Structure 1
Amino acid sequence: MADAHAAWSRTNRELEEWVPKARAEDVASPEAIVTALHDSVNGPKGAWNSDRLRSLCVPNVLFACLTVNEDGETTVNNCPLDDFIRLVEEKHAESGWYERTTEIVSVSTVAKKGGALAVVHYAGEASSTPDGMLEEQGETQAILMHDGVRWWVVADTW
């Protein structure tokens, strides 16, 4: 496999060979893929399989969030896919983890050279059990691309 963080160009067929096979329903629309993105990290404590998550994302997807450090300063945190997968695996080693999309606030799309771009603004929540007390809740922006065949997550920021 080529370095995902180097410059690259791939057709849908080539991208599909680079990642695990996606469920057709997961990549059918902007709303479906952001819902699947959060469903893909769900599971009980123990081993977690990253294939569904990988199937949704371009290999150089970026996950990024804003936090506040111990000095009260806002910190920009970014995480490439392999590092994000390690974080999810660490979370599942400690406890279960369950995320869900609670509301699609808006979807903005534009047709582009045989495909499309989309920005999805949505809300979600997470806990360590399927129906447990909320541990995280917030709003997110996802940047997506449609390659003429299916949707791909390019970035997810919260």
Structure 2
Amino acid sequence: MKIVRRIACIGMLLGLALSVIANSHAADSPVMLQQASPVITTSPPARLSDVQTIDGIVAALYDVISGGVGQVRDWNRMRSLFIPEARIMAIGPKRDSKDLGLRILSLSDYIANSGPILVDTGFRERELSRKTEQWGELAQVFTTYETTRDANKSTQRGINSVQLMHDGTRWWIISLLFEAERIQLSLPDAYLVPVK
């Protein structure tokens, strides 16, 4: 009798866990198998023009982070481009070291850490060139960028590597990995062909 009760209890717990997982996905985000989280996140509704094409979502990404000194960014628009679990990552030299490191941020981390800097410095980023590969619902975009900071008139170039998926309705940014030029690393001509 005790064994039967234990089996029934285990069955109920498994059923509850599966129910929580099934209901933890936002209706407008891609369905993904994952563990249930105590934190519920949803993506704000996206502008159709931002997410219907790869061109649209890449243009929206550049547009949403760019602006003059003191210009508040539309972070809900940025959130609408990414899956809630997305990561923004940067490759670059470590502080006080010649070694390279990888900085990994959630979208909320990026907004909290970089958002004030973008507004304070008048950060603008534009696309110089793009190479896109697509197979099925998977896309990989290498987009060469140039940033300008109004505060000190500095410019910098690099590459944003954007991973995307199409869920049958719209495009989503899954992750963004970028690296800037430095003395030991210059952009080759192949990544400077203008976008058509």
Q: Does the pair score TM above 0.5? A: yes
Determine whether 1:124 maps to 2:150.
no
Q: CA RMSD in A?
A: 2.4
Which structure shows the higher helix fraction? Answer: 2
Task: Specify the SS of the correspondent of 1:40.
Answer: helix
TM-score with structure 1 length normalisation?
0.80
- Amino acid in structure 2 at the alignment position of 1:58: I
- C-alpha distance in 1 between matches for 2:49 and 2:114: 23
Contact 1:125/1:134 (<8 A) preserved: no
Structure 2 partner of 1:15: 29
Structure 2 partner of 1:102: 128
Q: Please, which moves more after superposition, 56-65 or 87-96?
A: 87-96
Contact 1:41/1:88 (<8 A) preserved: no
Task: Specify the SS of the correspondent of 1:44.
Answer: coil
Task: Specify the SS of the correspondent of 1:125.
Answer: strand
Determine whether 1:59 maps to 2:84.
yes
Percent identity reads: 26
Deviation at 1:62, TM superposition (A): 0.7
Aligned length: 144
- C-alpha distance in 2 between matches for 1:122 and 1:55: 20
- C-alpha distance in 2 between matches for 1:145 and 1:101: 21
- C-alpha distance in 2 between matches for 1:98 and 1:60: 25
In structure 2, the CA distance between the partners of 1:93 and 1:14, relative to structure 1 (3 Å rule), is closer
Contact 2:68/2:119 (<8 A) preserved: no
- C-alpha distance in 2 between matches for 1:93 and 1:110: 37
- Amino acid in structure 2 at the alignment position of 1:72: K
| Per-residue CA distance 1:31-71 (angstroms, 9 max, x = gap) | 32122112111122233331111110001111111111222
Which structure shows the higher strand fraction? Answer: 1
- C-alpha distance in 1 between matches for 2:68 and 2:109: 20
5+ residue gaps in structure 1?
1-6
Aligned counterpart in structure 1 of residue 166 of structure 2, from 146, 149, 152: 146
Task: Specify the SS of the correspondent of 1:109.
Answer: strand
- C-alpha distance in 1 between matches for 2:105 and 2:98: 21
5+ residue gaps in structure 2?
1-20, 31-40, 179-196
- Amino acid in structure 2 at the alignment position of 1:20: P
Aligned counterpart in structure 1 of residue 112 of structure 2, from 86, 91, 99: 86
TM-score with structure 2 length normalisation?
0.66
- C-alpha distance in 2 between matches for 1:64 and 1:35: 19
Structure 2 partner of 1:33: 57
- C-alpha distance in 1 between matches for 2:59 and 2:67: 15
- C-alpha distance in 1 between matches for 2:85 and 2:155: 28
- C-alpha distance in 2 between matches for 1:77 and 1:53: 20
Deviation at 1:10, TM superposition (A): 4.1
